[in-house]
Amino acid sequence: MVATTYKVKRAQVGQIDSIEVNGPFNFSDPLIYSIAVQILEEGKPALAFDLAKVTYMTSPGIASIVKVLKRVQAANALLYINGATPDMVDLFRLAAVDKFIRFL
């Protein structure tokens, strides 16, 4: 069954604190940035986006990740992407941010 409703929450991917997105990722959500800031203010050296349950992603979803990426870089931390489909990876390449993130 494919998720048709959007949900976001703080979670973990392995040992890395993460932002788990579930459903369509087609808009910018202030909660995403808030979770990222919280993780970074705790002094974590990295955070991840868990996209394994994302049904599709559009440019506003990418924009949300880029906004978090800027905050991550300012904190000298690392940003990981988990569960990205090949199409999502292509979107990151088109947005020219694939060089600044690490894929799990």
pLDDT of residue 76: 97
How far is 85 from 3, CA to CA, in rounded Å? Answer: 16
Q: pLDDT per residue over 71-90, tens digit each?
A: 999 999 999 999 999 999 99
pLDDT of residue 27: 84
At 50, which amino acid appears? D
Place of tokens 């369509």: 24
Structural domains of the chain sorted by starting position, each given as residue range(s) with its CATH number in brackets: 44-104 (3.30.750.24)
Question: Other CB atoms closer than 10 Å to residue 103's CB: what's the count?
Answer: 12
Which residues of the chain, if any, have pLDDT below 70?
1-4
Helix segments in 3-104, DSSP class H: 30-41, 59-74, 86-94
pLDDT of residue 1: 46
Place of tokens 């990426």: 69
pLDDT of residue 86: 94
Single out the residue of 49, 61, 50 nearest to residue 24, CA to CA: 61
pLDDT of residue 59: 86
Which tokens sit at 28? Answer: 């910018």
Q: What length does the chain have?
A: 104
pLDDT of residue 4: 65
Q: E-assigned strands of 41-86?
A: 46-57, 78-82
Place of tokens 């949300």: 64
